[in-house]
Structure 1
């Protein structure tokens, strides 16, 4: 049997160059689910937000028939497709993450922006998939195979190894600028930061820090202390860059 598939926008990045941006005739034996045929083309199902077959929205379990016309779309950032969406009971954009072991710097950046981001460098693939499923977290990875696991319904395949560009990609993909709450999470452990009076922590500060800084925050989980020093300035510069590089119409933060 044969069906015609068309993959739109950035989904073409997962296809061989000679198969991008065109209608593809895909052959298959017996009836296969649309999810299986999408992933056999190299595209993780977590990258897909809408599938239309002969103009009608379907879910991933739909069994493709001879001659079907299948249109596959990526996540929509600015268009509300809720009335059409059949793939999942809820949208992907809940801004809570779990990251694979190669993304420590990205995890720190996301925590700096205030996003709940689980990270350990010793999570195995099964653990990552289970955490994503049970805690409804978006799984961030460069491993396409990991995103094809059936447990994973929320995920994003990073296109670059550069942590700053990875951060920019995640913020754009999930339209996060309006949700940013900088300096509210611990970069080290992901715990929430709370203001703490200088008198309570004075004995833990270096002499120069005690002399020149008055406002402090402390992680309620690990006890790490933060203040507006040079590290804070570097992080603020990154936030300014991110805002400039992202959609200029997004909400200020």
Structure 2
């Protein structure tokens, strides 16, 4: 191995970000006295927001430290649950995560989402509102201006929800947020919303909630059982984290 290179060991939990041929072995990356460890780590494919600890020859260091040739760098994942500087954690999701956004709102997690935001705007909003940016785009996580983000690895919405809840363990408050716009729900008398209901709904249901912002009306309709299953699964996931 070239003595001018930095040796890197990536924890198995982060192999997802490596090329298949790079998984499970020590990597060698060219470096000089101007190269930071953050640059070295991202050069092999691991976004820095996914890294919880960096060790050089056994000691903890920061990503800004220079990468001395010949040293061994160990790259470790974030803790579960991940400590974050906002309590409770709140999120902003990229354009590819609309279903996940609705499910996070269903279980009461403060979740901003708009399917018409470009990358620059996503970063601006995440920074201004101190929201954790959830994205499937690894390149977006490499933006130095982004205050905090996380990569969503799974493609299936059920698995995505498990992944986010297991990583951040936010407190849940099911049935308290509008799944369309994220605003709080308030109880509504049937007489207050009757004009907005279809005839069959008026005849069948008596308990309603209404969005405090967009006025969307909610009731326990035909899809309630499936939604209840999502809520119960989410509760189990957060409970298993052991916060």
TM-score, normalised with respect to structure 1: 0.85
Instruction: Provide structure 1 residue ranges, at least 5 long, that are not aligned to the other structure.
Output: 83-89
Cα RMSD over matched residues? 2.4
**Equivalent in 7, 13, 16 of residue 16 of structure 2:** 13
* SS in structure 2 at match of 1:159: coil
Show the 5 A alignment for 1:1-253: 1-77=4-80, 91=85, 94-176=88-170, 179-243=171-235, 246=237, 249-250=240-241
Cα shift readout 1:99-151 (whole Å, capped 9, x = no counterpart): 11121111111111111111111100111111122222111111111110112
Aligned residues: 240
Alpha carbons of 1:139 and 1:197: their partners in 2 closer, same or farther (altered >3 Å)? same
Q: Indicate if the aligned counterparts of 1:12 and 1:20 stay in contact, CA closer than 8 A.
A: yes
Q: In the alignment, which residue of structure 2 is the partner of 1:86?
A: none
* SS in structure 1 at match of 2:223: helix
C-alpha deviation, 1:230, in angstroms:
1.6
Instruction: Provide structure 2 residue ranges, at least 5 long, that are not aligned to the other structure.
Output: none
* SS in structure 1 at match of 2:194: helix
- Residues of 2 paired with 1:157 and 1:249: CA distance? 21
C-alpha deviation, 1:185, in angstroms:
0.7
C-alpha deviation, 1:93, in angstroms:
7.7
